[in-house]
């Protein structure tokens, strides 16, 4: 089989993995080497579905021993199969990288023969890239559920980011759709990687040259809509993953019906809006100081698809509003619908020198369409008079409720330039605003 | 009313600011010589660029305001916006009064304008880091043409120097007729014009095809969303890509 066919099959097979980011690592190039990692990450292209292409995302093989019902590559599926050699993956990565098509490699795999055997093949590939080809670009590697911890520890030495996909948010879901996986085989490696990361970080505090271990942290992915799990359950799970394992990201993937089975829901198109709302709620958890319990509860376990989760929260808590933009503290400002991390920071900075008027708010990027109902500016209220929760709900709804794609704010990157003194690390800022 | 006219270089702009200070004048606008429209009621003062004066202004920015103010000024200048010179002048004037806290005074229109320009430029530079596409030429040199909105070649070149230190490369700003030439640890940005077909390396075609095929296959059919794609990657940046975005939406 030639390389073109292999890349077609194994590239297409990897597309359901959402993670694409190349952020979080500042691996440096070495003399004689090729490539480095960029802390805020770099997107190189955007595919026709609007998702960013940052890494060469491929499976090592799609010959799978497992039979997870939601997956295109399950053992019983009738699809063309292919397997790379470590050298082919390395050659592709290097040559794409030299032409600046990609930021690095995202290597995943079906379970070939058994988890350990597959993991060894993946390690052989990344080791080849790092040692033989002197590649210092970004590598994101999947940890195969059920692989030996020693193998995972070995892999972690060479890669920037590792991830174990949870895929289904509950053990019942796993039992139903992926009988060969169990909760433990997924959670255990996550805990193991987490402890190794902490250990490596401590060592690097003592010795500058202590080896790196997964410097960009770990992530995971949840499929939304393949099982009856509700949003509250999903958000609670994410919250505890962030807390317990300090995950960098939980990715949500709207379930794409690739196959039919009595255990799977029959849906016409992937639940994109639900996925979008989950991402918004996820951001609220990580960067806006919200807790899952504040956003949802047992009586209302689903996110509103009409309005965004922050607006929905504000509507439930109207007694906290309006707040005065010239006085409210940062924690409260970012809870106002229409005010984000960036505009809140601008407000805080600017009002130290002069009080802020309504026009200035607009320039600062505050979405006044939403925010005006929840703020006062120099004591004046600019929203509608005499409204209650339900009329406000109507006002906050977007004019057309057609499904739009996910559109997180564009990314700001900054770089050193010709002039000295000019370089200021703004990377920290992008990390805080969470735009990667 | 007085307008200062400089030659369009960064040093020229800094010289103009120097002159305004020492001549104790407050020019209404500081403009680059290529966007001047003559008017009877305005006195135009042409400024001769002076490296030494420019350097003194630059040092004063770094020392009396802050290094990040110097970055704001340079990036705003690279935007080539018509009002950039004037906004920078007002921003600096305020900066020398307020010190480094000038960057917090965002309610001031000129401060905000400089910040907004800086942001636009650094955003495009960031985007360009990903969108540059090298083609391997017969001679073993990697060549990439670009046409950015702003003059960002100087911002992105150091990134590729760090990333690809062992390959010779050229990044060519076709619109501004500038190119960054890199070889063995050093690069230079020089005026450069080139027309005609490039002799590509034999391997090049194969890798281009591989990339195109990969690009086609990575999109999920049931999620095709050309609007979102164009939002992140505006059509004006497609010209020099290897891949062909937007082809699946049509079929």
Q: Which of residues 56-75 of A touch B (CB under 8 A)?
A: 56-57
What is the Cβ-side half-sphere exposure of residue B243, based on CA atoms within 13 angstroms? Answer: 29
What is the strand order of the sheet B29-32 is part of?
Answer: B29-32, B2-6, B43-46
Whether the complex's predicted ipTM is more than 0.90 is answered with yes
Which carries the bigger pLDDT value, residue B231 or residue A389?
Answer: B231
Q: Which residue of A has its CA nearest to B70?
A: A422
Which residues in B lie closer than 8 A to residue A44 (C-beta atoms)? 130-131
Q: For B135-245, list the strands marked E by DSSP.
A: 135-136, 142-146, 169-173, 178-183, 186-191
For CATH 3.20.20.70, the residue range(s) in chain A are 3-303+408-433
The answer for A289, left when phi > 0, alpha when psi is -120 to 50, beta otherwise, is: left
Contact call for B163 and A256, based on CB within 8 A: no
What's the pLDDT band for A404 if we cut at 50, 70, 90?
very low
Strands B29-32 and A161-163: unpaired
Omega before A395 cis (within 30°)?
Answer: no
Which residues in B lie closer than 8 A to residue A38 (C-beta atoms)? 129, 159
Can you tell me whether residue B227 is helix, strand or coil? helix
pLDDT for the residue A429? 42
pLDDT for the residue A151? 94
Q: Which residue of A has its CA nearest to B249?
A: A48
Which residues in A lie closer than 8 A to residue B114 (C-beta atoms)? none
* d(C-alpha B66, C-alpha A350), whole Å: 18
Q: Which of residues 78-137 of A touch B (CB under 8 A)?
A: 92, 95-96, 98-101, 103
Q: Please give the average pLDDT of every successive group of 10 residues along chain B, which has 251 residues.
A: 92 96 93 84 92 96 96 96 95 95 90 95 95 95 95 95 94 94 93 86 93 92 90 94 81 47
Which residues in B lie closer than 8 A to residue A54 (C-beta atoms)? 130
Can you tell me whether residue A281 is helix, strand or coil? helix
Confirm or reject contact between A354 and chain B (CB < 8 A).
Answer: yes
> Which of A272, A415, A419 lies at the smallest CB-CB distance from B159?
A415
pLDDT in tens, A240-267: 999 999 999 999 998 888 777 888 888 8
What's the pLDDT band for A353 if we cut at 50, 70, 90?
confident
Alpha-carbon distance A425 to nearest alpha carbon in chain B (angstroms): 10
Give the best residue of A37, A48, A325, A378 to mutate against chain B (max B CB count within 10 A): A48
pLDDT for the residue A428? 40
Alpha-carbon distance B24 to nearest alpha carbon in chain A (angstroms): 27
Which carries the bigger pLDDT value, residue A410 or residue A327?
Answer: A327
* d(C-alpha A130, C-alpha A60), whole Å: 17
pLDDT for the residue B207? 95
- Reading the block at residue A335, the tokens are 């809870």
Can you tell me whether residue B143 is helix, strand or coil? strand
Contact call for A54 and B130, based on CB within 8 A: yes
Show me where the domains of chain B are located.
2-122, 132-191, 204-250
Contact call for A48 and B134, based on CB within 8 A: no
What's the pLDDT band for A333 if we cut at 50, 70, 90?
very high
Which residues in B lie closer than 8 A to residue A94 (C-beta atoms)? none
Which residues have C-beta within 8 Å of that of residue B245, sequence separation ≥ 6?
A45, A46, A47, A48, B215, B229, B233, B238
Give the best residue of B214, B230, B242 to mutate against chain A (max A CB count within 10 A): B214
Alpha-carbon distance B238 to nearest alpha carbon in chain A (angstroms): 10
Fold of A3-303+408-433: TIM Barrel (3.20.20)
The one-character DSSP state at B187 is E
What's the pLDDT band for A413 if we cut at 50, 70, 90?
very low
What kind and span of H or E run contains A330? helix A330-333
* pLDDT at residue A420 greater than cutoff 60: no
What's the pLDDT band for A403 if we cut at 50, 70, 90?
very low
pLDDT for the residue A96? 96
Can you tell me whether residue A250 is helix, strand or coil? strand
């Amino acid at each position: 089989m030639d390389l073109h066919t292999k890349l077609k099959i194994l590239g297409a097979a990897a597309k359901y993995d959402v993670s694409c980011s190349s952020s979080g690592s500042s691996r440096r190039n070495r003399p004689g080497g090729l490539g480095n990692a960029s802390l805020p990450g770099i997107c190189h292209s955007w595919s026709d579905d609007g998702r960013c292409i940052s890494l060469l995302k491929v499976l090592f093989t799609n010959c799978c021993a497992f039979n997870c019902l939601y997956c295109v590559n399950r053992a019983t599926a009738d699809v063309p199969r292919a397997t790379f050699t470590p050298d082919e993956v390395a050659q592709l990565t290097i040559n794409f990288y030299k032409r600046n098509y990609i930021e690095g490699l995202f290597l995943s795999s079906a379970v070939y023969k058994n988890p350990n055997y597959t993991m060894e093949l993946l390690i052989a590939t990344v080791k080849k890239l790092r040692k033989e080809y002197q590649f210092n670009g970004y590598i994101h590697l999947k940890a195969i559920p059920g692989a030996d911890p020693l193998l995972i520890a070995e892999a972690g030495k060479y890669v920037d980011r590792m991830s174990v996909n949870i895929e289904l948010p509950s053990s019942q879901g796993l039992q139903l759709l992926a009988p060969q996986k169990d909760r433990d085989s997924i959670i255990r490696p996550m805990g193991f990687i987490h402890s190794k990361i902490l250990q490596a970080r401590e060592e690097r505090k003592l010795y500058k040259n202590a080896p790196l271990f997964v410097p960009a942290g770990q992530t995971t992915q949840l499929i939304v809509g393949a099982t009856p799990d509700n949003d509250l359950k999903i958000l609670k799970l994410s919250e505890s993953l962030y807390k317990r394992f300090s995950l960098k990201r939980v990715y949500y993937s709207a379930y794409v019906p690739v196959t039919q089975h009595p255990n799977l829901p029959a849906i016409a198109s992937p639940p994109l809006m639900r996925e979008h709302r989950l991402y918004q709620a996820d951001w609220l958890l990580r960067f806006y100081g919200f807790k899952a319990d504040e956003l949802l509860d047992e009586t209302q376990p689903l996110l509103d698809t009409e309005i965004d989760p922050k607006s929905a929260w504000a509507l439930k808590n109207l007694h906290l509003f309006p707040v005065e933009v010239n006085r409210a503290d940062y924690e409260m400002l970012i809870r106002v619908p229409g005010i984000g991390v960036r505009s809140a920071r601008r407000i805080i900075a600017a009002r130290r020198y002069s009080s802020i008027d309504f026009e200035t708010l607009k320039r600062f990027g505050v979405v006044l369409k939403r925010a005006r109902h929840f703020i006062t500016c120099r004591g004046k209220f600019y929203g509608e008079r005499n409204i209650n929760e339900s009329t406000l709900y109507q006002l906050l709804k977007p004019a057309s409720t057609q499904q739009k794609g996910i559109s997180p704010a564009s990314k700001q990157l900054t770089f050193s330039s010709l002039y000295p003194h000019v370089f200021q690390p703004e990377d920290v800022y992008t990390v805080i605003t969470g735009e990667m | 009313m007085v307008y200062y006219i400089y030659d369009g270089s960064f040093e020229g702009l800094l010289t103009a600011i120097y002159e305004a200070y020492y001549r104790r004048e407050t020019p209404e606008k500081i403009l680059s010589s290529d966007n001047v429209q003559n008017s009877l009621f305005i006195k135009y003062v042409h400024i001769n660029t002076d490296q030494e004066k420019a350097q003194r202004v630059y040092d004063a920015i770094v020392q009396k305001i802050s290094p990040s103010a110097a970055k704001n000024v340079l990036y705003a200048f690279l935007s080539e916006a018509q009002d950039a010179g004037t906004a920078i002048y007002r921003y600096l004037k305020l900066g020398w009064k307020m010190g480094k806290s000038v960057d917090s005074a965002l309610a001031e229109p000129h401060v905000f304008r400089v910040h907004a320009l800086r942001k636009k430029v650094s955003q495009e530079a960031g985007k360009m880091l990903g969108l540059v596409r090298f083609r391997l030429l017969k001679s073993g040199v990697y060549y990439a043409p670009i046409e950015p909105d702003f003059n960002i070649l100087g911002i992105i070149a150091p990134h590729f120097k760090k990333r690809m230190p062992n390959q010779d490369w050229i990044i060519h700003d076709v619109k501004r007729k500038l190119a960054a030439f890199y070889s063995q640890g050093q690069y230079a940005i020089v005026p450069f014009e080139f027309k005609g077909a490039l002799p590509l390396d034999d391997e090049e075609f194969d890798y281009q095809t591989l990339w195109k095929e990969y690009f086609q296959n990575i999109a999920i059919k049931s999620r095709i969303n050309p609007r979102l794609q164009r939002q992140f990657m505006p059509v004006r940046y497609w010209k020099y890509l290897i891949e062909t975005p937007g082809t699946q939406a049509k079929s």
